[in-house]
Amino acid sequence: MAGGGAPGGLRERKKARTKAAIQQHAIRLFRAQGFAATTVEQVAEAAEVSPSTVFRYFPTKEDLVTTDLVDPVVFAAFEAQPAELSLLGAWRNAMMESFARLSDSEVDAERGRGLLALSVPELWAASLPNITRGIDTMTELSARRLGREPTDPAVRQTVGAIVGVLLVVALDWVKNPNLDIVPLIDEALLRLESGTTV
């Protein structure tokens, strides 16, 4: 139990802060120096921890970018959406609400992480298992909301359409990092929901 005064809660919060700090320093260094040119030792020094501490939280260098790439906060926000919303409307709201909770520096860090994952070949490959798990979770949550089975082709294809639109937006963003990805996602999902393709 992560209660305010519980030692376990304090310990878990400290671990979470350490993990987040390591990842933030890693993303900053990867963006500044390049993924291949940055060592785990440099990340550890920037985060003021030992290299063994970095590896305790992130078993591989790639994990510094790809861990938690699919945000569970979005899934929790989706489950809290009103029942009267359409499936696409619920996912759109969940994503917008999740971005709205982030500070400017957190949004920038997520942008940097996404850009690295999509533009560095070894990170793209390392991201695929997390992305696959994310799609599976989206499918399960969508099926539960609709009262259907996750194997239902209509559910799977709808989730596939959402993921496809998000991927196109993300790839456009890689080509032009100055674009603001949040309104791009919002507009893309609104367009998908309206059924308008052009």
Q: What is the pLDDT of residues 84-108, one digit of tens each?
A: 999 999 999 999 988 888 777 777 7
Residue 88 CA to residue 86 CA, distance in Å, equals 5
CB of 58 closer than 8 Å to CB of 64? yes
Domain spans of the chain, in order of start: 7-60, 68-194
Give the right CATH number for 7-60 from 3.20.20.70, 1.10.150.80, 1.10.10.60, 3.30.420.40. Answer: 1.10.10.60
Residue 16 CA to residue 87 CA, distance in Å, equals 32
| Count of alpha carbons within 13 angstroms of residue 40, beta-carbon side | 15
Q: What is the pLDDT of residues 12-52, one digit of tens each?
A: 888 888 998 999 899 999 999 999 999 999 999 999 999 99
Fold of 68-194: Tetracycline Repressor; domain 2 (1.10.357)
Q: Cα 54 to the chain's mean position, in Å?
A: 20
**10 Å Cβ neighbour count for 38?**
20
